[in-house]
Structure 1
Amino acid sequence: MTRQRVALISHVGYDAYRHDDGSPFFHPDEFDITLLARPRDIARLAPGQVSRCIPVDIDTHAELAVSLPDLLGGFEFDWVVATQERMLLPAARMREAIGVGGMGTEHTLLLRDKVAMKHHFSTHGIRVPEFSEISEPIQATELLDKFGQIVVKPVHGCNSLGVHIVRDQNELIGLQRRGFAGPDRYEAEEFITGRQFHVDSVVRDGVPVAASVSQYLDSHETFPLNGQIRSHTLDDGPDLELLLAFNRAVLGCIDWFSGAAHLEAFLDDRGEPVFCELGGRPGGAGIDATFRYRHGISLLFASIMPQIGRNVPDSGAQAGMDQPATGWSMIYPPALGRFRGYGTLPGADWLLQLTTPYRPGDRVVQPTQSSDALAFAAVRGKDSREVVDRLAEVKSEITASITPE
């Protein structure tokens, strides 16, 4: 059997591409994998896991988008796979450049470009915040005058990087003086007062095969030392049903899409759903671990399958679970300096995931995006209240030694 040649642009270690039983997503007998990844992830590979490795700076996505054709130009591929938000457009452009199947730039932009997606979904009857593309902060004056509070963010942003909540003209003038942090296009939009949620789905041709609705408990604007960002799944009730219906309506506007989807949405002060943004990729933090537990499907696996010409998996949802509720947290360092090591760590049986990314000798700097965390945790519980209590317990049990510099 001829092996399928896959270029895999990976933002996670290769061991993440495994089912719960340990079997690989890409069996070596079936797939010839060229892995583009950070050098540290390549260094952790076991012999024979992939055919070849290309070390790249995944975090400098603008440079990778330009250099990708040169990096891959000497090889032939059947598929190009990427599951991290910043890599979706470079991968789409690469597919078009070498003439292989998979989602192209036209559709990818609707799941990546915040201006294009809002135009698309509003045209299809989905309520979105009033918004405007801007090239400098002061151009948002009219929107700020109308709503009294706005959000300014990069059009292609992710991980809450570069997001500003502007509450008055003085704050807008201050942002104008500082300027935008990067070369990306920007947009300003109406600030929606209410509660924020994420809905994570496995999608087949615009229809969710499985979905989970979770509520955020913390702001995404800043990432204070010793702070955290948390979410928990909703218990049964009207809010859950309303947001599941809203998710179906949103996904119905992209009936060409299959894979994993991450919808951000609000319930405003009147309890009505409002679109925030939609990503055509798995949610981050502990979302994949919690989704796997509840639905028996990996969002990472579901994202990959359509990119190699295969169907997304069916739901393996478990009925009558004793602990159906889940939640996750990103916990930020307590201090700045040089990381020496983790002290105590939790180990309860209800802990679904605990990721501790720091290594001795790493510098601990002020977090600037949501993923700059000391630890990522995911838990289960009988209901949302127990999940929140367990997330608090996890945070209290994580200690770390950091030497000031």
Structure 2
Amino acid sequence: MARRRVLLLSHIDYDAYHHADGSPFFAPDEYDVTFVADRRHVARLRTGPLPPEIGETIATRLKDDTAVSTLLEALARTAECDYVVALQERLLLPAARFREALGLPGPGVAQTLLLRDKIAMKRHFAAHGVRVPDHIEIREPRDASAHLARHGRIVIKPVDGSGSFDINVISDRQQLAALHRRGLRGPHRYEAEEFVDGRQFHIDSIVRAGTPLATSVSQYLDSHESFPLGGQIRSHTLDPGPERRRLTEFNAKVLSCLPRFDGVTHLEAFLDPDGEPVFCEIAGRPGGAGIVTTFQHAHGASLLLAGVLPQIGRPVPDPAPPGTVQRTAPGAAPRTQEVPSTGWSLIYPPALGRFQSYDSLPSAPWLLQLTTPLTPGDLVTASRRSTDVLATIAVSGVDSREVVAHLDGAQAEITATIVQDPIAGGAERFEPLTFASAGRDAYEVDPD
């Protein structure tokens, strides 16, 4: 049988597309993969012989929308392809358009817009009885004046944003006027929505036909609208109780509005002061930061694999029952326990300058992931996206209290040195700065 040809648009190293036993998601006797990625990911793949399932590699700038569009237009004219796979937020719509242009199976533009376009998704879910923030589309900040007067506090953000890029919380007319004078950072469409007073959560699921098969409910502990020097964004899974049950039910209600969707979802939601859920936004891809790692630890299932399979015409498999642990003794029955508690943190640089080194790193059995994206000599500038980090960590624990203690303990054990060179040049130099906080960002996906 001829091998199926897969165009894989990848924002991560190819190593991530492997099962726990080391075998590839794309079996060599079944698939011929064209790996399209940034130059560094292609370079890492080419450090040795290519895996037998990789037929070709193409290096491009996947963060450059124009470069991606130009490449896909060229491939649509020349490439022979059976499937296209993408798991990163910015690549979902280009992949959907490519499928439709070539008549390929997989998520199309209409379905993808409901998981990508913040205006389209809110209209869709509101029409199905889901509570969403009052919102309007705007062309420039002053278009939100009436919305600010109505609600007193609003959020202005890109309709197709990711990585918490250019999120602006506006509390008065002076702030709105200042934003209007500065201008919005992106060239894309924007929306203004009421600010929801409450705690924010993310709910990550493996989904078949709009029904969640496995779900993790987590609470953000820090704001992820800005990324101050020395700051961090933390999250932990909820302990059993009414709040976790309420958000799990809300997640199921939201997903029921997508009856034809298979794959993975990352839902952002609030609990208002009365404890009622409010929709924020939803994405049809794996959550970022440490979510892939923590979900795998808790459920024994890969969000990456569950996101890939529907895009290559394969069904989403049933995960193991929550908390099920297989005994190693032959014939022994599985035992069931509560799903492990987990959490993650994105840690931001303490200063601007030249990165020198990660000086010390923690080591503990509960440390699930420690990743560092910086290399010696890298220029550290102000973080503009949630993924512009010094380090990412993921941990486990017996409950949320222990998870938070582990997050804070790991952060305190990591030290890094940044030399505060004047970025614009010049002779002045500063003493090295050490920071009690770092490891290689394995997935580089957005936390929201």
TM-score range, shorter-chain basis?
over 0.9
Alignment pair present for 1:368 and 2:384: yes
Work out whether residues 198 and 265 of structure 1, in 8 Å CA contact, stay in contact via their aligned partners in 2. yes
Write the distance in 2 (CA, Å) between the matches of 1:367 and 1:399: 19
Partners in 1 of 2:55 and 2:384 — Cα distance? 36
1:348 paired with 2:364, answer: yes
Q: Distance in 1 between matches of 2:29 and 2:216?
A: 34
2:6 — aligned with what? 6
Look up the match of 2:210: 206
1:233 aligns with 2:237: yes
Partner Cα separation in structure 2 for residue 334 and residue 17 of structure 1: 33
- 1:336 counterpart residue number: 352
* TM-score, normalising length: structure 1: 0.98
Partners of 1:72 and 1:339 lie apart in 2 by 41
Q: How far apart, in 1, do the equivalents of 2:187 and 2:339 lie?
A: 46
Number of paired residues? 405
Could you give the per-residue CA deviations for residues 338-390 of structure 1, whole angstroms, max 9, x where no partner exists?
11111101111101111111111211111011010111111000000000000
* TM-score, length of structure 2 as denominator length: 0.89
Structure 1 segment 229-378 matched on structure 2, within 5 A: 229-316=233-320, 317-319=322-324, 320-321=336-337, 324-378=340-394
Max Rg structure: 2
User: Structure 1 residue runs of 4+, over 3 Å off?
Assistant: 319-323
Change (3 A) 1:102 1:323: closer
Q: Which residue of the other structure, out of 42, 47, 50, is the alignment partner of 2:49?
A: 47
Q: Secondary structure at the match of 2:360?
A: coil
- Asked if 1:115 is matched to 2:119, the reply is yes
- Residue 86 (structure 1) aligned with residue 90 (structure 2): yes
SS state of the match for residue 265, structure 2? strand
Measure, in 1, the Cα distance between the counterparts of 2:418 and 2:151. 43
Give the CA deviation at 1:307: 0.2
Aligned position for 2:396: 380
CA displacement at 1:61 relative to structure 2 = 2.6
Bigger Cα displacement from structure 2, 55-64 vs 363-372: 55-64
Deviation for aligned residue 1:72? 5.2
Residue 216 of structure 1 pairs with residue 220 of structure 2:
yes
Label 1:43 to 1:252 Cα distance change in 2 as closer, same or farther (>3 A): same
Asked if 1:145 is matched to 2:161, the reply is no
User: Aligned Cα RMSD in Å?
Assistant: 1.2
What's the offset of the Cα at 1:322?
A: 7.7
Distance in 1, matches of 2:290 and 2:31, equals 28
Partner AA of 1:246 in structure 2: F
Q: How many angstroms apart in 1 are the aligned matches of 2:268 and 2:338? A: 28
Write the deviation string for residues 291-332 of structure 1: whole angstroms up to 9, x where unpaired: 001111110110000000011121123334587100001011
* C-alpha separation in 2, matches of 1:72 and 1:286: 34
The question of 1:22 aligning with 2:22 is answered yes
Instruction: Name stretches of at least 5 consecutive residues in structure 1 with no aligned partner.
Output: none
Which is worse superposed, 47-56 or 160-169? 47-56
Question: What's the % identity of the aligned pairs?
Answer: 57
SS at match of 2:122: helix
Q: Could you say which residue in structure 2 is the equivalent of 1:68?
A: 72
